[in-house]
Amino acid sequence: MATIGHIALILALLAAIYTVIASLAGTRFGFRHLVTSARSSILTVFGLYTLALALILYAFTTKDFSVKVVAEYASHDLPAVYTLSALYAGKAGSMFFWGWLISLFAAWLVFQARDNHQRIMPYAIAILAIIEAFYIALVTFGVNLFEKHPSPPVDGFGLNPLLQNFGMLIHPPLLYLGFAGFAVVFALVMSALITRSPGMGWANHVRHWTLLAWCALGIGNLVGMWWSYNELGWGGYWAWDPVENAGLMPWLLGIAFLHSIAMRRQRNYLQIWSFCLITFTFAFTLLSPFITHGGIESPLHGFYGSPFPPYILAAILITLASSLWLLYSRRHDLEREEKPASLISREGSFLLANIILVVLVFIIFAGTVLPQAIGALGWTKIALERSFFDRTCGPIMLILVFLMGVCPLLGWGRSVWSSAKRNIMYLFLAILVIAVAILISGIGNWYIAVAIVCGFPFFIILQEWYRGTRARHHTRGENFIRAFFALINSNRARYGGFLAHIGIILIALGVIASSFYGIERTATLDIGESINIGEYKLTYHELTLKQDNVKVSAIADIIVNRSDGLKGIMHPSYDYWFSHEDHFTEVAVRTTPAEDLFVSLVWTGFDPKDKSATFRVLVNPLIVWIWVGGGFFLLGGVFAFSAKEKQLFGVEV
Amino acid sequence: MKKRYLIGGLILIILVGYLLYLSFGSSVSYYVTVSEFFARGTELHDTSVRVAGKIADSPVEWNAEDLELKFTIAEGGEAMTVIYHGAKPSGFIAGSDILVEGKYHSDGIFRAGQLIMKCPSKYEIKE
């Protein structure tokens, strides 16, 4: 069966290569039937790829340990839910699954555009087929996914306990969805450039795919943070690890690209800029596998002995070189660019946000790659502490959040100060109210600056909504609730964007509060002893030892009291897994809107007589708003996605 | 108009450069292996440094009362005693690759502020 899978993949590779040739030759020399056959063959790639996927999933479900990857990542006791996790836990499996998503998207695109965009589609199909061929070649000739085990074991090694978590079940596929989506956007934009089709017909496709990719990637990153927080037991969610940065950079570039195409819908700004942005976004999606497969040292996540990095690096360089060369060769065909009349205008603030985002990505990229590059070039190896990223990226991100508030105040085109004056008045009023509120509550000085920066755009957005709703209420006589929904429905792209901004503001709030105001304590306790942290008093009540055939667990009962009474019992545990000969902690988290109480059991001797145990306890303020913010930006993305074409190109966005 | 963009760009570059320079300088530390560390004599004593090695087979001492973890890392024939304030992280097994961040003191002990399990095989079998 493994052989059938391998053959299916090789056939898929051949079909992908045929697609490239047929599609390009067909459109170049005007053979319509060749172009049509290319469409069928890219569907064939999808079919064969899906067959291979079904076969490998079948091998995982039936625990067929004669297939090497199954023996390495699955075991008889692995819950069925994690079959998919076991597939993308491996170096070949992860690339395989990602490649499959691209083939799915390519098929979807062919289906979506079967009647229109005849000019650019053959090129888009060819570009996607090249990308597909690259992935298939990696998992057939680089590492053979269907490699047979020389001596099939009775039971497999099993999936790492850290990966047996709901977050890890959906985190990788969400990232791959995002990365694969950006591949489609890249293919569309490049084919428009090749065929000199700067028109708007395909722009809506680009927008849809970008939103899809960007949302999936953003949620994927957040789920990764959630997993890190709830599973790794260190109490944090972001470490500026190269792997994390690799997921963040394409997402940030994606934001810049989304805003630059929003500007393009209004005026002919930033064409070259947009082309560059999507090229780098796509190229940067390849940084993630480059790092995880060992191209850059990452303590957090890495595949052992993967042969992929040189190929991936080559793919990144070829992508950048060919795209930039193409752009250079087409420079005269691009429409004459207008320049924003004034920086104090909507497009001016979009432009500024774009520049800041690119600077941010540049800094993260430098911090990720430079220490490694310096070592690789033979100079003294250096390491960069996370404080580098906190100090550089923190302030820049705050500026971006602040810009979210400035932007809606400004109109398109030449916006003179006088028209913005009234808005500025509201702004200062809002700031004043927040500042006074904070001074009265006496939280502290730092909070004031932060709250103003985060509160300002929040109030501006609310004010925008209020004014729009009131206007409708007056002119059309709709009641306030109806007017509000009619308002946001009338321009879904704009109001979806606002929702996403609110999400980002909430995330910023959670990140800032938990980074600056978290408290942490570690202590070893005997039964009956307690530890005080913040307003909490935690009493170690009991330790229960449990054993099954996978692990032995020590589960603690912690009684949580606060100044206002009993809050409940928490059960952090410390597990020793026989398969990995190692211990893992299962943290307990008590979430409230104001703060999280995070308890992890970091050591105990598994001794029924001496139950002393070490606990790490953290109070993380406002952390839940990071996840709530994620919900908001997903909502905003979906809402913007549903915008009708008419709204996009007629009304002000 | 063009001039204005040029000036704006220049200011931006200077600001970003200054920010990078400030943060890079204070966040950067040497990254050496255990044997490289000792090969430099006392040069890297009492400075923030990241040292890579493998957790040695020698017994790991854990003092639960003082929350002190004492162990030895080795590489290239050299060994270094490390004290860390905190419990063993997952993956802390003899033979595993580890990075320790901290300072080496004249008493011959490396006091680590952070342990990073550098475990390329973390999610896989060791081949």
User: Per residue in A509-538, pLDDT tens?
Assistant: 899 888 888 999 999 999 999 999 999 999
For residue A568, the cross-strand partners are A560
Nearest to A396 by CA among A434, A428, A364: A364
Query: What is the rounded CA–CA span in Å between residue A592 and residue A628?
Result: 12
Nearest to A153 by CA among A73, A80, A91, A90: A73
Nearest to A303 by CA among B110, B109, B87, B126: B126
How far is A372 from chain B, CA to nearest CA, in Å?
A: 10
Handedness of CA A117, A118, A121, A125 (dihedral sign): positive
Query: What is the rounded CA–CA span in Å between residue A283 and residue A277?
Result: 10
Q: Which two tokens stand for residue B38?
A: 């000792």
Q: Write down the residue that tokens 């207008």 correspond to.
A: A338
Helical axes A386-406 vs A445-476, angle rounded to 10°: 30
The per-residue pLDDT for A199 is 59
Share of chain A above pLDDT 90, in %: 53
- Contacts A–B by Cβ distance under 8 A: 117
**φ, ψ at A478 (rounded to 5°):** -75, 150
More confident residue, A2 or A303: A2
- How do B97-104 and B49-55 pair as beta strands? antiparallel
Look at residue A125 and tell me whether its pLDDT is greater than 70: yes
Rounded to 5°, angle at Cα A213 from A207 and A218: 120
Mean pLDDT score of chain A: 87
Q: Compute the residue count for chain A.
A: 653
- CA of A585: how far to CAs of A77, A235, A579, in Å? 19, 12, 16
> For residue A381, what pLDDT band results from cuts at 50, 70 and 90?
confident
Contact assessment for residue A623 and residue A514, using Cβ atoms and an 8 Å cutoff: yes
Question: Given A304, A339, A614, which is nearest B124 (Cβ)?
Answer: A304
Q: Which range, of A64-78, A332-346, A460-474, A509-523, averages the lowest pLDDT?
A: A332-346
Query: What is the rounded CA–CA span in Å between residue A204 and residue A642?
Result: 11
Query: What is the rounded CA–CA span in Å between residue A20 and residue A13?
Result: 11
Q: Which range, of A271-280, A311-320, A407-416, B27-36, averages the lowest pLDDT?
A: A407-416
Burial of A527 (0-12, 13-18, 19+ CB in 10 A): middle
Contact assessment for residue B52 and residue A406, using Cβ atoms and an 8 Å cutoff: no
A233-274 pLDDT per residue, tens: 888 899 998 999 999 999 999 999 998 888 766 555 667 888
B125 to A157: CB separation less than 8 angstroms, yes or no: yes
Query: What is the rounded CA–CA span in Å between residue A619 and residue A611?
Result: 25
How far is A386 from chain B, CA to nearest CA, in Å?
A: 7
| Interval A611-618 mean pLDDT | 95
| Interval A641-645 mean pLDDT | 77
The per-residue pLDDT for A340 is 59
The per-residue pLDDT for A119 is 83
Q: Nearest chain B residue to A74 by CA: give it.
A: B124
B122 to A384: CB separation less than 8 angstroms, yes or no: no
The per-residue pLDDT for A105 is 97
Share of chain A above pLDDT 70, in %: 87
What single string gives the DSSP state of each residue in A570-598?
E--EEEEETTTTEEEEE-EEEE-SSEEEE
The gap between the terminal CA atoms of chain B, to the nearest Å, is 62
> For residue A650, what pLDDT band results from cuts at 50, 70 and 90?
very low
Look at residue A342 and tell me whether its pLDDT is greater than 60: yes
B101 to A385: CB separation less than 8 angstroms, yes or no: yes
The per-residue pLDDT for A440 is 66
- CA of A286: how far to CAs of A269, A292, A387, in Å? 28, 10, 26
Look at residue B127 and tell me whether its pLDDT is greater than 50: no
3-state secondary structure of B109: strand
Q: Which range, of A58-62, A529-533, A577-581, B68-72, averages the lowest pLDDT?
A: A577-581
Q: Write down the residue that tokens 């690096």 correspond to.
A: A313
Interface residue B86 vs chain A (CB under 8 A): yes
How far is B101 from chain A, CA to nearest CA, in Å?
A: 9
Interface residue B23 vs chain A (CB under 8 A): yes
A348-370 pLDDT per residue, tens: 788 889 999 999 999 999 999 98
Handedness of CA A54, A58, A59, A60 (dihedral sign): positive
Look at residue A447 and tell me whether its pLDDT is greater than 90: no
More confident residue, A147 or A294: A147
Query: What is the rounded CA–CA span in Å between residue A26 and residue A40?
Result: 13
Burial of A647 (0-12, 13-18, 19+ CB in 10 A): middle
> For residue A378, what pLDDT band results from cuts at 50, 70 and 90?
confident
The per-residue pLDDT for A363 is 93
A523 to B67: CB separation less than 8 angstroms, yes or no: yes
| Interval A466-483 mean pLDDT | 87
Query: What is the rounded CA–CA span in Å between residue A529 and residue A538?
Result: 9
What single string gives the DSSP state of each residue in A95-154?
HHHHHHHHHHHHHHHHHHTSSS-TTTHHHHHHHHHHHHHHHHHIIIIIS-TTPBPSS--S
Q: Nearest chain A residue to B49 by CA: give it.
A: A383
Query: What is the rounded CA–CA span in Å between residue B63 and residue B87?
Result: 9
Q: Which range, of A378-387, B64-73, B98-107, averages the lowest pLDDT?
A: A378-387
The per-residue pLDDT for A269 is 60
Look at residue A652 and tell me whether its pLDDT is greater than 50: no
Instruction: Collect all residues of chain B within an 8 Å Cβ-Cβ radius of residue A366.
Output: 20
- CA of A557: how far to CAs of A539, A540, A586, A617, in Å? 8, 6, 13, 14
> For residue A651, what pLDDT band results from cuts at 50, 70 and 90?
very low
How far is B108 from chain A, CA to nearest CA, in Å?
A: 23
Query: What is the rounded CA–CA span in Å between residue A651 and residue A542?
Result: 64
More confident residue, A53 or A403: A53
B119 to A299: CB separation less than 8 angstroms, yes or no: yes
More confident residue, A458 or A282: A282
The per-residue pLDDT for A274 is 87
| Interval A313-330 mean pLDDT | 94
Q: Could you tell me if residue A529 is left (phi over 0), alpha (psi between -120 and 50 degrees) or otherwise beta?
A: beta
The per-residue pLDDT for A419 is 57
| Interval A2-25 mean pLDDT | 96
Query: What is the rounded CA–CA span in Å between residue A146 and residue A234?
Result: 37
| Interval A167-188 mean pLDDT | 95
A388 to B127: CB separation less than 8 angstroms, yes or no: no
> For residue A420, what pLDDT band results from cuts at 50, 70 and 90?
low
B22 to A582: CB separation less than 8 angstroms, yes or no: no
Contact assessment for residue A125 and residue A110, using Cβ atoms and an 8 Å cutoff: yes
> For residue B22, what pLDDT band results from cuts at 50, 70 and 90?
confident
The per-residue pLDDT for B122 is 43
Instruction: Collect all residues of chain B within an 8 Å Cβ-Cβ radius of residue A391.
Output: 19, 22-23, 26-27
